Each structure stands twice: as structure tokens, then as C-alpha cells.
Amino acid sequence: MIGLCCSLRVFLRYLYREGIIAQDLSPTVETPRQYRLADLPRAISWEEVRQVLEAVDRRMAVGRRDYAMLLLMITYGLRGHEVAGVRLDDLDWERERLRVPERKAGHSTAYPLSSVVGEAILDYLQHGRPQSADRHLFLRVLAPFVPLRGSSVSNQATRRLGQAGIHVARPGSHTFRHSCIQRLVDAELSFKTIGDYVGHRSPSSTQGYTKIAVETLREVALGDGEEIA
């Protein structure tokens, strides 16, 4: 809507400058107000998450790679550039830990490496990752075998959503990050805990998810002793 208003103002100034209209009407086009936290996060349901994962063909190298990347986004809420930044040295197999460098305020974050994520990464390393001296975990499946960029991770997430027939506004890696956060909200974890887990730099970033805590909001709205009709 804001972009449309800007285009309309430019067009009206052009018409006035060319003498097509007698008065410059561009100042009359007001930009609509924007409110913080006005939009709902772009999450999908957990059932839709399963559909996306089940649609990935893990018999192919690209499928093994994308499956592991999706699990990182879904399980830990990693951003696209954070997935792209994971290196082989960030995987501590002995202690079952995953390190995500510079995730929040320049500090690294260590997570327990879940068995599902670990098995997916191991499958990719053994049967999908090209031979390369580069220490980044995720590489292109075709030569040149260079590390994926954050934009490439997001593009693959978008492709996997479309492949599963899941339609969402502005799809990408953040779709799965939002779904991870929504699941934590549904589990009734504190917003401070959730913010720390997913690497929010500001508490206000987590506050937007209060709008998807539907059951909690319903309880507040109903009050004591009331029931849903």
C-alpha cells in the first residue's frame, strides 16, 4: 500500500509538470499509517511442516541437503544466513552439541543436537555433500561446490513449500523460523525463554507472537467463569 501511494504521488507530479492537470495533487495522497506488530508472523501449522518434510525426496543429494537445512530452521528457528553459516567445526558429535556463531549480540549459542537433526546431517555428510576442503556444512550440489548463501537457503525453503502445495505470504526460511517460534508459544514457554532460544536481539521482536497465542488470549478475553458459546 505504501509503495502504491508513492507511485501515485510520482504520477500526479508528472501530470502536473506536463500540464495535463492544472494543480499538483500529489500532496493530497496520504501515506497510510503503519503500526508496529500489526502483521501476523508468517507461520504454517505443524501439520503443514510435516507435509513439507515428507515431500522432500531424500534419495537425492539435494533432498538430503535441503531436509537437513529445513530441520535446522524448524528445530532451532535458524535464519537463512545462520543455516548457511554453519560449519563442520560447529558440530560437536561427541557432546551432541550444535554451535551457532554470532547468533545474538555477537555471541555464539550452543544447542543440544537432537537425534533427528543429527541423523539428517550425518546422512547428508555421508551420501550428499560433495567432496570439498571448504568447512561450511552446506554446499551447492553442482560444481562449483561453493557454500550456499543465506538467500539460496531461503530460496530452497520457498521451493520446498511450493513443492508441498503450502501457500503462504512471502514464503522463505522465515516461514519455518516463525513456525518454530509458534510451537514454542503453544508450549507456553515464557517469551524471554523463546527470545533467547531463537536469538531475538530485542524483546519487542518476540512480542509480535503474542498475537498467535490464541488460547491464552481467549482465556484473557473470557475472564473467569465464562465459556465459549
Domain housing 148: 47-168
pLDDT in the model for residue 26: 87
Q: Which of 7-16, 92-101, 122-131, 182-191 has the lowest mean pLDDT?
A: 182-191
Kindly name the residue from 13, 42, 104, 149 that is annotated as catalytic. Answer: 104
d(CA 171, CA 163): 12
Give the domain-ending residue among 113, 133, 168.
Answer: 168
Percent of the chain with pLDDT over 70: 78
User: Among this protein's residues, is 33 annotated catalytic?
Assistant: no
pLDDT digits (tens, 9 = 90+) for 150-162: 999 999 999 999 9
Same domain, 122 and 20: no
- Whether 211 maps to a domain, the answer reads no
Same domain, 139 and 78: yes
Kindly name the residue from 9, 129, 174, 183 that is annotated as catalytic. Answer: 174
DSSP string, 154-182: HHHHHHHHHHTT---SS-SHHHHHHHHHH
Kindly name the residue from 65, 79, 103, 160 that is annotated as catalytic. Answer: 79
Q: What is the 8-class DSSP label of residue 98?
A: E
User: Among this protein's residues, is 79 annotated catalytic?
Assistant: yes
Instruction: Determine the average pLDDT of the residues in 83-105.
Output: 89
User: Among this protein's residues, is 174 annotated catalytic?
Assistant: yes
- Whether 109 maps to a domain, the answer reads yes
Same domain, 109 and 27: no
Nearest to 199 by CA among 77, 104, 105, 90: 104
- Whether 131 maps to a domain, the answer reads yes
- Whether 10 maps to a domain, the answer reads yes
User: Among this protein's residues, is 135 annotated catalytic?
Assistant: no
pLDDT in the model for residue 140: 96
Angle at 45 between CA 99 and CA 202, to 5 degrees: 45
- What rounded mean pLDDT belongs to the chain? 84
Instruction: Determine the average pLDDT of the residues in 3-10.
Output: 81
Percent of the chain with pLDDT over 90: 53
Kindly name the residue from 67, 76, 197, 209 that is annotated as catalytic. Answer: 209
pLDDT in the model for residue 212: 52
Kindly name the residue from 9, 65, 160, 177 that is annotated as catalytic. Answer: 177
Q: How many domains does the chain have?
A: 2
Nearest to 30 by CA among 12, 15, 42: 12
Of the two residues 29 and 51, the one the predictor is more confident about is 51
Q: How would residue 166 be classed by pLDDT, with cut points 50, 70 and 90?
A: very high
pTM for this structure?
0.72
pLDDT in the model for residue 208: 56
